[in-house]
Structures are given as structure tokens and as C-alpha cells.
Chain A
Amino acid sequence: MTADPHSGFVVAAYLVALAVIAGMIVATLADYASLKKRLERLAARTGRGFDAGPK
């Protein structure tokens, strides 16, 4: 592959693809993690509120 003068472009293309795809995956998972944390906090708050059971 090193014999070809243009192999740099091939490597660059695959690196960009890797970056974009990894970016999509990481963004989706990070979004999920933060949403879940917020939901749990909210559920704990309202849940405690409506149980009205002070510990």
C-alpha cells in the first residue's frame, strides 16, 4: 500500500470515517448516560415527594 503515491488520501478518508462514526456512537451513548442520570434524579425527587415518607 505504501507504493501508491495517493495512499495518504486513503488513510485520511478512513481516519475521517472512523472519527465521524466514533463521534456518532460516543454522542449517542453520552446523551443516554446524562439523560438517565437526570431521569433518576428527577424520579427520586418526585418519588420521595409523593411518598411523603421522611426518612
Chain B
Amino acid sequence: MRTMPNYANPADFLRLVRAAAPVTATITAILFGIGLYLALLDSPPDYQQGETVRIMYLHVPSAWMAMFVYVVMSSAALGTLVWRHPLADATQKAAAPLGAAFTFLCLVTGSLWGKPEWGTWWVWDARLTSVFVLFLIYLGIIALWQVIEDPGKAARLVAVFTLVGAVNIPIIKFSVDWWNTLHQSASVFRMGGPTIAMSMLWPLIFMTFAFTFLFLTLHMLAIRNEILRRRIRRLSMLAASASEAGIPAIFAEPAQ
């Protein structure tokens, strides 16, 4: 009955990565090529913001990735807690630094966009502030990964925290929005959603897909790294227990 390879099996997954990674990497490169051409050369400057609008083609896709990666991580967290599957653990762990990097990029580009638009490097604008809190949560997750030795236990504990964060993030978003209206920031920057010009929409779409495929490629490669890391851990523990059990010296590494 099982004619399809089972990609939940780490060995099959490694084979999948070997086949798929070059393909997605090529797609990523093509999308970036088109996206950057449209964003930098083929789209007009905004009539109000001038050239700075080009930062949007980095800022919006990375904001999207910041949320998308968290969704991926939360789904993997469910997989860890419900099925206790090692691949779900690896998926979770590999996503966290990538998500943090995209969130960081979103904050930095937002700041670089804010300086010419608002006159300061940082504004406690509702959207920026929520992303900032998301960044802190990502850093907390990475810190939790680093301090717990046993990978299975770390995965389950991080999964609990990730899901608690997933419940909390909409609440944080809502309260930060409310807080912002309360304090009425001087210049609320609006990005007109549907009124955006077509000439700006296309580069935005291509850049968003480019970022998504970049993440998919790097995520696959990072999951492969985690699988290898676990394998090394298992092998070295086996080797250590074998040498402790009094295996004759020829089994140990030969002294040169």
C-alpha cells in the first residue's frame, strides 16, 4: 500500500531535501531577480514619499515572514506535543532563528523607512511595536532552546511556550493597537491597502514570494542540520556508553 515515500521518516526527508533544495533555491533566485528588478528599476517613486517607498518592498515581505514563520513554528509545536515526532521537533527548532532574522530585518527596514518619513529612527507606532514584541518572543524561544540539554525535552517545553505565545500574540496586537490610539501618536502612517498602485503591487508580490521561497529553502536545509545534529548526539552517546562498558581497546579510537 505504501508506494509513496514517508517524508515523516528522517531518512526519507533527507532524500527529499537533497532533491528539492536545488529546485527551491533556483526558484528563490529567479523570484529575487524579477522582484528586485521591479522594485528598484521598473517601479516609479511614490509621489509623496519619493524613493523611500522602495524600502516597502523589503519591509512588508519581512513583516509577512515574521508572522508566517511563527505560524509554521506553532503547527510544528502541535506536532511535537501530539505525536512527539522528531521531525516536528527539528521543524520547530530550525524555524526559530530564521523567524528572528526576518523579524529583525522588518524592524531595521521599518526604522530606516521611519527616519525620512517621521524624522526619527523609532516611533512607538502600533505596528512596529507589535513586531518588536514578536521579536522579543522569538529571542525568548531561542534562549529556551539553548538552555535545555535534552533535545526531546527542549522541543516539548519550547512547544508549550510557542503555543502560549500563539494565543497571546493576537491579544498583544489588540492591546498595543488600543494603547496606540490612547496615546495618539503624532503621525500615524497609513499604507493604503487596496488603493496601492498596480506598479507597486507587482514588485511587492514578487518580493513576498521570493522571501517565502527563501524561507522554505533555508528551513529545509536547517531541518536537515537538526536531523544530523541529533544523529551525531545519538552516535556519540552510543560510543561513550560502549567505551564505558569495557569494550576492548581496539574498538576505541586508535591512538596514533
A residues whose Cβ falls under 8 Å from a Cβ of B = 1, 4, 6-7, 9-10, 12-14, 16-17, 20-21, 23-25, 27-29, 31-32, 35-36, 38-39, 42-43, 45-46, 48-50, 52, 54
Give the complex CA separation of A55 and B126 in angstroms.
68
Closest 3 pairs (CB-CB, A-B): A4-B51, A49-B251, A6-B116
Give the complex CA separation of A42 and B231 in angstroms.
10
User: How many of B's residues come within 8 Å of A, CB to CB?
Assistant: 42
Give the complex CA separation of A14 and B113 in angstroms.
11
The interface residues of chain A lying within 8 Å CB-to-CB of B108 are: 13, 16, 20
B221 with A32: CB separation less than 8 A: yes
Closest Cβ of chain A: how far from B105's Cβ, in Å?
5
The interface residues of chain A lying within 8 Å CB-to-CB of B116 are: 6, 9
Closest Cβ of chain B: how far from A4's Cβ, in Å?
4
B229 interface residue (CB < 8 Å to A): yes
B54 with A10: CB separation less than 8 A: yes
Given A10-B54, A14-B54, A49-B252, 4 new contacts (CB under 8 A): A10-B55, A13-B108, A28-B218, A38-B232
Give the complex CA separation of A20 and B103 in angstroms.
11
Give the complex CA separation of A48 and B116 in angstroms.
64
B51 with A45: CB separation less than 8 A: no
Instruction: Report the nearest B residue to A7, measured CB to CB.
Output: B51
Instruction: Report the nearest A residue to B239, measured CB to CB.
Output: A46
The interface residues of chain B lying within 8 Å CB-to-CB of A21 are: 105, 214
Give the complex CA separation of A7 and B115 in angstroms.
12
A24 with B235: CB separation less than 8 A: no
